[in-house]
């Protein structure tokens, strides 16, 4: 999807918006704006630009909220794994050792989930994650069924939190800005550049003035799509909590 490649989306949006401004100048040549209509046109143009600014600000807020959610779930996931690693000591010795070894392998997979950018590698990570989750649940289920007790129940509840936290994380990574919101914002941006080109005077057209708004809006689109794209672009969620936990458990 184009929105998952912020740099390409920036270049495409810049081209589309610049062509929109040029189309506006072409329409102005065919049907010039009369001086007695200039004041009304300026009001419409200002209102459209204001609406575009509001929509961009609203969409940026949506993107940052989703980015913060991904960071929060990474922290929650590290806390759940660390807590279960401690609670595994409530299980019988052999089961505790098996659960802790599985948690270490599981944590490596979660780190790879955050760091990989290759979709094919991600598919393999997801398959391995599902497999080890089944093994970890079986590892705590067996002693719980053999010897049910409140202490073992804590270990089972902790493993449940580990599995749930991964599901919450995945849901947060799937939660992107709706396509309809992007379509609305792009449509308003196109209208703004059409109005800008139509209302520009001949001197403004030759000075490169019409390139400023497409560039600025495209940069805003780049920032929003970059924050909203978990694996592409320049801004990513760094699994600092999982890295710190991995280092502490390997000592």
pLDDT digits (tens, 9 = 90+) for 152-201: 999 999 999 999 999 999 999 999 999 999 999 999 999 999 988 888 77
> Each residue of 77-102: pLDDT tens digit?
999 999 999 999 999 999 999 999 99
Q: How far is CA 59 from CA 27, 46, 98, 249, in A?
A: 31, 20, 46, 40
Which whole number is the average pLDDT over 215-221?
95
Q: What is the mean pLDDT of the chain?
A: 90
pLDDT at 205 over 60: no
Q: How far apart are CA 112 and CA 123, in angstroms?
A: 11
Question: In which band, very low, low, confident or very high, does the pLDDT at 220 lie, cut at 50, 70 and 90?
Answer: very high
pLDDT of residue 209: 78
What is the model's pTM?
0.86
> Each residue of 50-66: pLDDT tens digit?
999 999 999 999 999 99
pLDDT at 204 over 60: no
Question: In which band, very low, low, confident or very high, does the pLDDT at 206 lie, cut at 50, 70 and 90?
Answer: low
User: Domain-by-domain residue ranges, the chain?
Assistant: 2-249
């Amino acid at each position: 999807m184009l929105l998952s490649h912020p740099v390409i989306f920036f270049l495409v949006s810049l081209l589309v918006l610049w062509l929109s401004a040029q189309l506006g100048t072409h329409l102005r040549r065919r049907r010039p704006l009369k001086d007695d209509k200039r004041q009304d046109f300026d009001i419409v143009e200002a209102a459209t630009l204001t609406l575009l600014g509001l929509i961009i600000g609203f969409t940026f807020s949506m993107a940052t909220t989703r980015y913060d959610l991904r960071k929060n779930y990474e922290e929650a996931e590290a806390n759940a794994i660390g807590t279960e690693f401690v609670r595994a000591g409530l299980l019988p010795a052999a089961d505790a050792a098996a659960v802790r070894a599985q948690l270490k392998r599981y944590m490596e997979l979660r780190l790879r989930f955050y760091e990989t950018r290759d979709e094919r590698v991600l598919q393999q990570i997801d398959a391995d994650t599902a497999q080890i989750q089944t093994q970890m649940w079986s590892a705590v289920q067996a002693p719980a069924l053999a010897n049910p007790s409140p202490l073992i129940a804590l270990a089972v509840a902790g493993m449940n939190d580990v599995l749930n936290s991964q599901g919450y994380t995945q849901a947060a990574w799937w939660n992107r800005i709706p396509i309809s919101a992007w379509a609305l914002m792009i449509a308003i941006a196109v209208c703004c550049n059409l109005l800008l080109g139509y209302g520009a005077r001949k001197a403004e057209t030759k000075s490169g003035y019409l390139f400023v708004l497409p560039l600025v809006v495209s940069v805003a689109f780049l920032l929003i799509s970059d924050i909203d794209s978990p694996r592409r672009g320049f801004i990513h969620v760094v699994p600092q909590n999982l890295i710190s936990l991995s280092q502490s458990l390997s000592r």
